Structure 1
Amino acid sequence: MTRSQVPWRAELEFSDFAAQEDEDLDLLTGALLIARDARPSLSWQSVEKTLDDLARPLVTLADARLSDQAEALALELSERFGLSGNHEDYHDPDNSFIDQVLTRRVGIPISLSLVYVEVAQRAGLQASGVGFPGHFLVRLDGADDEHLILDPFSGGRVLDLRDLEQMLDRVGWPRRVLEQGLLDPSPLRLILARMLTNLRSVYLKRGELPRLLVVLDRLLALIPDSKEALRDRGILNAELGAPEAARADLHEYLRRWPDADDSDVVRRVLGRLGKPDQRSLN
């Protein structure tokens, strides 16, 4: 759905949602609002029911050993329900939408992790998302600061230190960051922003610019200080023939970051846009 096709109510609801304090945000609500941009008729109740049904067999595990919780979660979601990573079409936008992940039972690391976290929490387990570099993960917490890291994209496999170090090696990050809170639970706002950032890359690669514009709107609602999103939206508006919107974003970008490395590029785009139509200022 393009921005012009997004009902005004959806715009209002996402803006209201994003304006909440961090502690008031709900991960599933945010994910459903993102999914609704692509599929306005999606059934929230159906998604909630599926998650509740998946959690029901796990409710007896709240006091079980952490390793047993992890094993049961992977068994229920990856083996019985059939959740798996979409290796064949990783960049399909449907991989990012919670309703489609539950329907098609394939997704990418962050969307599969969302399902794991939502199901685990419904079952009374202490689960959270971990924004690991290049590959989103799930953290299960138990008593006495014990925790396990799971990879839903790999069938819910429990990762050890060597696995995590190798994952860092693959993305060029130093191993020492593991000691700097890298495995701490990610703030919900940043999880949703990461979901939108994935969609931004997907729509850019596919050349779906109107959909990309909606994603940038959402990103800026969540993270108003996102320098890249503001710049990209301004440039995209210029490409889509919306010069007034482009000028507003790009002038704001230069006002806030006048010495940015790409400020000359932004000024050139503004120069190509020319002067505002005086009729639009009356």
Structure 2
Amino acid sequence: MKYKLIIILLLVIISCINNSKENNIISVNRDEIEPNDSFEYSQFIDTSTFINASFQSDEDIDYYQIKPTNSSVMNLSVYANKLDINLTLMSSSNSNVININTKYIENYRGFIELKDFMFYDDSYFLKLSSDKEGKYDLRFEFKNDYFPSNEIEPNNNINAANIINYPNELFYGYFLYNDFYSNNFNIDENIKPYIKNSDITDIDFYEIRNDTDINTSINIILEYSKDIDMLLFDENYNYIKKGINKLSTSFKSGSKYYIALVCFGSKSIIERYTLHYEFN
């Protein structure tokens, strides 16, 4: 069975300065344990931990097995000074959940923070590498928290659309760079005729439904600092209309609609967006 990659409230912050850390979680200080260059020899992490580590060469790969005790949520941060980092978070079934190459991050200055990652497997593996040797610091923080509605990846095509369940439900998401011209991220055929031929950072699909017996109208609102193309399709994937950060449309009884958010560019954007719909 194909493993569905789920990212709940994934926050990627790239900071130009040393960001302050949350101090309300007790961490254990440890050094990296070598060798940890394979799944078999991955360093085991089961509690909130701060690790001093390094890449011994440009071919060094470091693995960490993450299996928290009595926690369901993780904050992960990597401080690597001037190193570019390849970061992959994998499920226990060896499916990639998160892929980040800092070369494709806007304003990267050596700091990555992934906040509020929800665990759906018993354990995960973190794989880190770089194109040159150097030191890095790694911090794991585990906790249990409540979460609002958040983007579930991958949602790059209409068949994987996230469902917004009710009016005024805020959905949180991020535009993280995908190579849409590779075999792994083909652009949805339903959307191709309605987007410009340009570099695409990310496409996020959402679904809304009118399960009532009332015909009405709604506004679909994206709160974001940049202009993002919003495309609307009916339940048969027929194109309806397009807008920038806002759409107004009829909302027919018993119908469902698909919203495509298209972010153009060639790098991940670190700012979180919110999406919701409301009645006129």
TM-score by length of 2: 0.27
> RCO higher in 1 or 2 (8 Å CA, sep ≥ 6)?
2
Greater helix content:
1
TM-score by length of 1: 0.27
